[in-house]
Amino acid sequence: MSIYLTFLLNITLSVAVSGERLSVSGNHFLFKGEKVFLSGGNLPWINYGYDYGNNQWAEVKARVEKQMQMLHRAGGNSLRLWIHIQGESTPQFNEEGYVIATDTQGTFIADFKDMLDLAQSYDIFVIPTLWNAAVDQDYHNRLNGLIIDPGKLTSYIRVVLTPLVEAVIGHPALAAWEIMNEPEGLLNLQFNEDPCFDTFMLKVSGAGWAGWKYSYQQLLRFISWQTDAIKSVDPQALVTVGVWNPKSNTNSFGMVDHYSDTCLYKAGQKALGKLDFHDFHSYSFEGEFDTVAAFVHNSSDYRTSKPVVVGEFWSQQGGHRTTKQLFEYLYRHGYSGAWSWDLVDNGADQRAGISHIQNYTGNGKIHIDL
């Protein structure tokens, strides 16, 4: 075994023994041996797509720190934020669409590590979301290349993702990786004989709102390969995907869990390419939640053995409930976390909800010490 591999193994083992990382036990999270509830919000960015790399972090760090400080004071313990989004700033691509560097000025990994260090100083878990499919602003077809071309995706994994995971393995503030926000935004709705890839039943669901570009087979390969790469470096890492609605991520209510272990393996053929917990988003339409939404169900209704976090919600589309009521509902109905949208533009309202449940303990403690 090489000295380098021995070094990585020692880090992994020391972290496992100390119990200083967030982990999954059945359908809930553990931290330092205690059940925890992830309470917080979405940052999600200061400058959309331009917060990390290319010496950009130095310009936004103070504003991010202010958000972390206010979140901590409100009693929150976790923060979801976005990284590459659609590749306009990072990583660096060549003219053929292959990834050749983390960024043009070489600060990306240092920026990311500094962000985690900052979060640790405020006892905040971070969930970095690497990519976004809720809109189609892929002006240079960079994200498109990674999704449809395995060779280009491999270049990203080799040049950026693997070195990034190696650089932050075991960091206490790194709660989990989220591969993509709302893949369903760019989902091509079409019939497939395999239920994992059949999107015909989602035609009237609202999926594909940003453009019918990718099959589920392409999106799931994109997700599973990156998940496998992360876990190949860091076997204890937690990984998820933020889905626009539980409809695509549950086998309950006559739906198909397209992100199941089985479906991800079919698409990617990667043994480690499986997700550790659910991240449902939940917004009402014309004042009402649909029949599958988190806010009309208990977490147990989804019949999953994994934790369920509701990673996006807000009072503007909250079914006539206040932010306090929304946070309390998720805590009281067996969910494992709540991240409201969003702390930058709606911070006071979000922090009121976070503060409302900060001392709750029946479904996991919220206060943590990193």
Average pLDDT taken over every residue of the chain: 95
> In the predicted model, what is the mean pLDDT of residues 309-322?
97
15 — pLDDT class (breaks 50, 70, 90): very low
Cα gap 189→367, rounded to integer Å: 43
pLDDT at 8: 46
> In the predicted model, what is the mean pLDDT of residues 271-298?
97
The CATH number of 37-356, from 3.40.50.700, 3.20.20.80, 3.40.50.720, 3.40.1050.10, is: 3.20.20.80
pLDDT at 39: 98
pTM over 0.85: yes
Cα gap 179→240, rounded to integer Å: 7
Greater pLDDT, 83 or 17: 83
Report whether pLDDT(4) > 80. Answer: no
For the chain, domain boundaries: 37-356
| Lowest mean pLDDT, pick from 19-28, 127-136, 158-167 | 19-28
Question: Does 312 qualify as catalytic in the annotation?
Answer: yes
Question: Does 20 qualify as catalytic in the annotation?
Answer: no
pLDDT at 203: 86
DSSP 340-359: ES-TTTSHHHHHHHHHHTTT
Question: Which of 20, 34, 182, 286 is an active site residue?
Answer: 182
Question: Which of 20, 34, 96, 312 is an active site residue?
Answer: 312
338 — pLDDT class (breaks 50, 70, 90): very high
Report whether pLDDT(5) > 50. Answer: no
Burial 251-290 (b: 16+ CB within 10 A, else e): eeeebbbbbbeebbbbbbebebbbbbbbbbbbbbeeeebb
List pLDDT tens digits, range 153-174: 999 999 999 999 999 999 999 9
Most confidently modeled of 8-22, 58-72, 194-208?
58-72
Please report, as a single letter, which amino acid is at residue 44.
P
List pLDDT tens digits, range 202-247: 988 999 999 999 999 999 999 999 999 999 999 999 999 999 999 9
Peptide bond before 279: cis, by omega within 30 degrees of 0?
no
